[in-house]
Amino acid sequence: MTTRIGVITFPGSLDDRDAQRAIRIAGAEPVALWHGSHDLEGVDALVLPGGFSYGDYLRSGAIAALSPIMAEVKDAAAGGLPVLGICNGFQMLVEAHLLPGGLIRNAGQQFVRRDQRLRVENAATDWTAEFAAGEEIVIPLKNGEGGYIADAETLARIEGEGQVAFRYVGVNPNGSLNDIAGLSNERGNVVGLMPHPEHAVEPGFGPNTPDAMRSGTDGLALLLRGDLRSRPRRSLTLPPRRGTCLTCGTEVSPVSQKISLIAQARQQLSLAAHAPSGRSAKTIFGGHERMLRQTVIALCARRELEEHNNPGEATLHVIQGHIRLIAGSTVWEGLPGDFLIVPTARHSVQAVEDSAFVLTVVKTV
């Protein structure tokens, strides 16, 4: 059965029809949705398109984020429905608090229009699964308020959790912190980005490539959804929070799922090598809303997790490399296979060489 992807039109949207056409080219069925409705019409995914909703008054996306249909969007996203926000749609997602941070006027105070090179930082979201981590693509960019901002704590968290989906390469067109071009939520089903993948889906109408003028179609991969109901979703959190089988949807015990820690370490080290922070992380079990949380963290050599408080009972299991767990004047060395109990005092973790480990945290009541 053909996947149905809803495209929501807001007053001032101008790329909604382009998004519908791109979805059709990708082989799915676009479903036109209206901002004033409360009905998502049973779609399998949602796209919030680019444009200038409500004339960008107050802040770009701020008024649209309060539209009637956004209540349904929030509920659907919380239930795992894939949601993609493009440009103005990305602005709506941050204003609706479905993604962290904010978007402000470009650093140069000018509207920017260019074919933009991006690097795929996270290929494990519902919208980036057709890419490879570290892959570079080119899709058009056009915005006046695309500068991504976040406080230091939020920025460290999204970098550490691997929530940066896309990063600007070569040129930072709008002054975004850490060259961030796109983000995902922790679960990986909500993604927002400032560039426009819907404008790079058909030869003859996309960016220039070494092969031919206007031949770029890199945006198509974001919209190649396949049949969402018959294939497993790739998510930042494994296994599924609802305890369902990845293949058939049957209720199962989490212990029936199997994850290769070595493979996870290899992937996160690859992402860390391309990240300005020199680190990357992926939650493989549990999450912020659960008592137990297990995360694979990768640190490049001489990088560290700055001194911080213990969030609960915690341990470190070293998969690869050499780390140091430091609390005051006490230092514990960690080599592959070592199991370190995190002290209750403030502490930091340093990587002597490229390293990966599993952080397990149990929240204390």
Look at the block and give the residue holding tokens 């308020």: 145
Cα(251)–Cα(287) distance, rounded to whole angstroms?
19
Cα(284)–Cα(356) distance, rounded to whole angstroms?
14
Cα(74)–Cα(14) distance, rounded to whole angstroms?
23
Catalytic residue among 72, 87, 159, 186: 87
How many CB atoms lie under 10 A from the CB of residue 127?
28
Are the C-beta atoms of 107 and 174 separated by less than 8 Å? yes
How many CB atoms lie under 10 A from the CB of residue 149?
15
Catalytic residue among 121, 159, 161, 198: 198
How many CB atoms lie under 10 A from the CB of residue 342?
20
**Is residue 87 flagged as an active site residue?**
yes
Alpha-carbon distances of 231 from 1, 193, 208, 234, rounded to whole Å: 12, 24, 33, 9
**Tokens, residue 138:** 């080119």
Distance of CA 156 to the CA centre of its chain: 14
Cis omega (within 30 of 0) on the bond before 68? Answer: no
Contacts of 37 (CB under 8 A, 6+ apart): 68, 69
Strands 330-334 and 339-341: unpaired
**Is residue 308 flagged as an active site residue?**
no
Q: What are 305's strand-pairing partners? A: 349
Q: Is 299 left (phi over 0), alpha (psi -120 to 50) or beta?
A: beta
Catalytic residue among 35, 196, 199, 347: 196
How many CB atoms lie under 10 A from the CB of residue 111?
13
How many CB atoms lie under 10 A from the CB of residue 67?
21
Catalytic machinery residues = 87, 196, 198
